[in-house]
Amino acid sequence: MSIAKTASEITLPPQSNGCRTVFEFLCQRFPKIGPVVWRERIAAGKVHWHQGELISEQTPFLPSRRVCYYREVTAEPVIPFAHRILYQDNHILIADKPHFLPVTPGGDYVNECLLARLKHETGLADLVPVHRLDRDTAGLVLFSLNPLSRPSYYQLFVTGSIQKQYQAVARLSPQLQQTALPQRWSIENRIEKANPGFINRIAEGEPNARSTIELTERSAEWGLFQLQPHTGKTHQLRLHMLSLGAPILYDRYYPELLPKQAPDFSQPLQLLAKQLNFTDPVSGTAMQFVSDFELQERPV
């Protein structure tokens, strides 16, 4: 059994939706965990208000209050790849994340995530990721160390004031195998939730996802791409690559959702968050960071 070393938080909604107690809300919000497990966690003192006061099974539902709990999984996977800290000052930390490692706890992962690793390594309890990478994607992640300056770094992403450059290796359609190099596309479409809910799809309607993609190298049926997302929809780059006829190598979601299985560490998704460029909102300094990781498969 793996138990999270730090608490997860959830804010109770403004409306109780029929829940009289926090216990009833947790059972409703997390049905896969079940009442028996929540009773055990509450009895063991593993559920409390944000201020630290323990919650009992009879604690009434209080709208908009923050509840802390500690995630548990029976068997947590171990990711045999190291992260790296590329930069740290009084406000931010830039980490280089390996493939397969989630940024934050979720699913089968409690302590084996980039956030938990960095907190353990640095001793910084108030470390917060300013953005996310998929667990399958490797590369650069920006963390905030200082709650006072944190909103300024969030704004970099909200306003599009940060440039993110990715690389991908993908299988080429017959047409792309013949196209002249370099080839550049500006893609703009609408991405919505699909079924099951953890994958997305391209849909009709007003565009909400934009990317610039360039094919720069080619070897037979494989191509090396440079990708720049201008918006941040989930799986945006994977779907935009698929729409070009170039599904990313070792993608287990697109074009076909493959059955869940233990990670195959010999086949990491060939998508890498390679570079971050921005003007630091605190110092005014131009910042550029480049990942040390390289994609496993490259055209030759």
- Residue 6 · residue 119 · CB < 8 Å: yes
- Give CA–CA dist 285/89, Å, rounded: 13
- Residue 139 · residue 275 · CB < 8 Å: no
Residue 118 to residues 72, 128, 242, Cα–Cα distance (Å)? 20, 10, 33
Which residue blocks in 30-168 are alpha helix, DSSP H? 35-43, 114-122, 150-158
* Domain co-membership, 93 together with 128: yes
Residue 51's domain comprises 2-73
Q: Is residue 78 part of a domain?
A: no
The answer on pLDDT for 117 being more than 60 is yes
* Domain co-membership, 212 together with 265: yes
* Domain co-membership, 168 together with 153: no
Interval 57-102: pLDDT, tens = 999 999 999 999 988 877 788 999 999 999 999 999 999 999 999 9
* Domain co-membership, 143 together with 228: no
* Domain co-membership, 186 together with 224: yes
* Domain co-membership, 168 together with 266: yes
The answer on pLDDT for 298 being more than 60 is no
* Domain co-membership, 69 together with 88: no
Looking at 73, 104, 135, the residue that finishes a domain is 73
CATH of the domain at 229: 3.30.2350.10
Q: Is residue 288 part of a domain?
A: no
Domain count, the chain: 3
Instruction: Please report the pLDDT score of residue 60 as a whole number.
Output: 96
* Domain co-membership, 61 together with 133: no
Q: Is residue 149 part of a domain?
A: yes
Q: Is residue 95 part of a domain?
A: yes
Task: Provide the whole-model pTM.
Answer: 0.84
* Domain co-membership, 111 together with 60: no
